[in-house]
Structures are given as C-alpha cells and as structure tokens.
C-alpha cells in the first residue's frame, strides 16, 4: 500500500526496521532496504513486504536492479566505533564499521536523493575532537547537501520513557529547505503529563525465564543495592557488570545490544513476584514499537531479540522527524523519482 506522501525511501543498515517503520508511519513509501545481519533480516521480513537485500553494503553496487532510485536514503550506520560505551576508534575501527558511512556515499552520488536521514550515537558529534563529524559533513557538502543535526533524547521528544540520546542528521539539496527544517522541522518536546508511565510499559509478572534469580552471583548484590536505595516497584534499574543502578523519575536507562546477557547493561524491574529483566515485548514498547503488531519469528533466539531491539531506533522520534521533513518540502519536491505527483 502506497504512502500518502508518494515519496520513496531506501534504507541502509536497516536492522529490524525501526527507521523504516518511522518513515512508513509518517506516510512514506518503503521501496527497498539493506541489512547484513541474518537474524535481523528474518525479523524484518516478518514485518515488511518490500524488497530487502540481505548482505554487505560493500559488496553492493548502485547498478543493482533491486536498489532503485529513491527520493530519500536513510541509514542508521553502525555506531560501535563512535559509542561512548565502545572503543571510540571511529574511522580507525579495525572491523571497518566506522568507514561504512562512506559506503553509502556511492549510492547517494548515483541516486541523488532529495533528502538524507541518518541516526547515530550522541558521541559521533564530539568523537575525535569533532574531526569525525567534520569529515562526514564535508563529504555530504561535497555532494551538494546542506546538513541539519541535533541530539534528541527519546524520553523528551516522544511519549516513551526511555533515556536514549541519539544524534540525528537530516540533509537537503536546498539550503533554504535545510534552514526551514531547522526552524520548524525538528520534533517538539512532549510535556511530561503526556508521556507513558511505568505501568503503560511493564507487566505485573513475566515468564520464569526472565527473573534475575537465575543469575545468583548477580542477584544478591543487585537486591542489596535495591534494598539500600528503597524497594521501588515503579522504578527501572540496570545491572552494570558489578553493581546495580537505580534510574530516576521512572525512566528506563538506554537499551543496549548486549542487554540479553546475564551480567551487563541488563534493564531490570521489581514486579509483584521478584526482580527480573524486561521482556522483549516490554523493550519493544520502550523503543516505540507495538508488540501486538510487530512480531519476531519463532526461530529468532531470545538473546538475538534483545540485541536487535538494543540496536534499533526509537520509532516515534524518527516518525516525528519524518513528518518534519514533509513540512518543509514543496509540491515540486513531493514529486517522486519517476516524475509522478503525489
């Protein structure tokens, strides 16, 4: 079913589809996506019906007939090389993850989309004393794009109570459009009174597999910390390797790709039964997905579900940015790549 905007989107580093879902919800047409992770591709295919090219972007060509010209290219390019939680090696990352951004430029140069959208960790902006971001911005400027960028925290710019600061970039061919987007396109803060509460996200109990007493060497010190800080049944906690941290104001700490394990960055809650980690369905809610309609295939493991969610974007934030893009495009801009008016 075509989106109401008529604008076509292609997505690199699609993951389980958070950016794509945000743009779809805003009325864009999803034409193709690319993702290398096999398990993420299984989840993506279970929830979207357009072309998904599974494989390494480095092995793809702009001449690939599956990757048609589009109006917008999006990319949540790998963030580990720039992350505060990672090694912060940037372009020098030995696995090449920091350089994958530049692989997208081959397609941008060939397809000349009207708009670009990128999402990454907050630290991208300051990595290597700002030199990394300057290199990215220069590369986009050389292709004729004007860059708008901003750090947004999910818990402030959506109803979702997750502290997730991310660096967003929106790029236009038109300098005037970019200036206008900076003025009226970015999402507005959501009043605290309209944001979801703890009980909108967390169930009263869960399956036995999620309870933290399965990890006794973590459970005891975590419980000691929780008891020392006051047993709060409406608080989010996080196990951080050797200690437990209580998150303030009923906001969940940042969900991470490694939260599926027993001992690092594990989001916890104290429900009516005992201390447990959040379920995948609760984590989906904390990224703005609807677990009643967005499903994991049965053969995607529990650990991989957590990994995919932790690597995902906050859908409502992306959706609001996508709506902001529509605000600043003229009727001429809204003609699709094949020349048909929306």
Q: Which residues are catalytic?
A: 79
**C-alpha to C-alpha distances, 115 to 20, 61, 193, 221, nearest whole angstrom:** 15, 20, 34, 49
The DSSP-derived string for 290-333 is -TTTS---TTS-HHHHHHHHHHS--HHHHHHHHHHHHHH--TTT
Q: In the chain, where does DSSP find H-type helix?
A: 18-25, 38-47, 100-111, 131-142, 154-157, 175-180, 198-201, 216-229, 280-286, 302-311, 315-328
Burial label for 118, CB within 10 Å (0-12, 13-18, 19+), is: buried
Give the count of beta carbons closer than 10 Å to the beta carbon of residue 46: 15
Half-sphere exposure of 62 (CA within 13 A, CB side): 14
């Amino acid at each position: 079913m075509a989106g109401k905007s008529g604008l076509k989107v292609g997505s690199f580093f699609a993951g389980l589809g958070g950016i794509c879902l945000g743009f779809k919800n805003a009325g864009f047409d999803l034409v193709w996506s690319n993702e290398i992770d096999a398990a993420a591709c299984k989840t993506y295919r279970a929830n979207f019906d357009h072309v998904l090219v599974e494989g390494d972007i480095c092995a793809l060509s702009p001449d690939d007939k599956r990757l048609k010209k589009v109006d917008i290219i999006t990319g949540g390019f790998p963030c580990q090389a720039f992350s505060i939680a990672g090694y912060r090696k940037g372009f020098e990352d030995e696995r090449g993850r920091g350089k994958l951004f530049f692989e997208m430029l081959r397609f941008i140069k060939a397809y000349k989309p009207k708009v670009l959208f990128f999402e990454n960790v907050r630290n991208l902006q300051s990595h290597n004393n700002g030199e990394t971001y300057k290199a990215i911005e220069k590369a986009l400027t050389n292709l004729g794009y004007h860059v708008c960028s901003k750090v947004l925290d999910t818990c402030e710019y959506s109803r979702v109570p997750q502290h997730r600061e991310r660096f967003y970039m929106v790029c236009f061919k038109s300098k005037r459009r970019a200036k206008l987007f900076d003025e009226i396109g970015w999402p507005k803060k959501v009043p605290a009174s309209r944001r979801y509460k703890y009980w909108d996200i967390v169930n009263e109990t869960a399956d036995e597999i999620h309870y933290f007493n399965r990890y006794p060497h973590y459970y005891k010190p975590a419980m000691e910390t929780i008891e020392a800080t006051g047993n709060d049944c409406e608080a989010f906690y996080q196990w951080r390797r050797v200690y437990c941290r209580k998150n303030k104001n009923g906001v969940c700490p940042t969900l991470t790709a490694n939260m599926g394990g027993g001992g690092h960055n594990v989001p916890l809650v104290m429900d009516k039964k005992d201390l447990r980690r959040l379920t995948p369905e609760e984590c989906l809610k904390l990224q703005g997905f609807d677990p009643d309609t967005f499903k994991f295939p049965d053969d995607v493991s529990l650990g991989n579900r957590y990994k995919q969610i932790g690597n995902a974007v906050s859908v409502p934030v992306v959706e609001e940015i996508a709506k902001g893009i529509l605000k600043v495009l003229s009727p001429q801009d809204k003609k699709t790549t094949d020349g048909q008016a929306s």
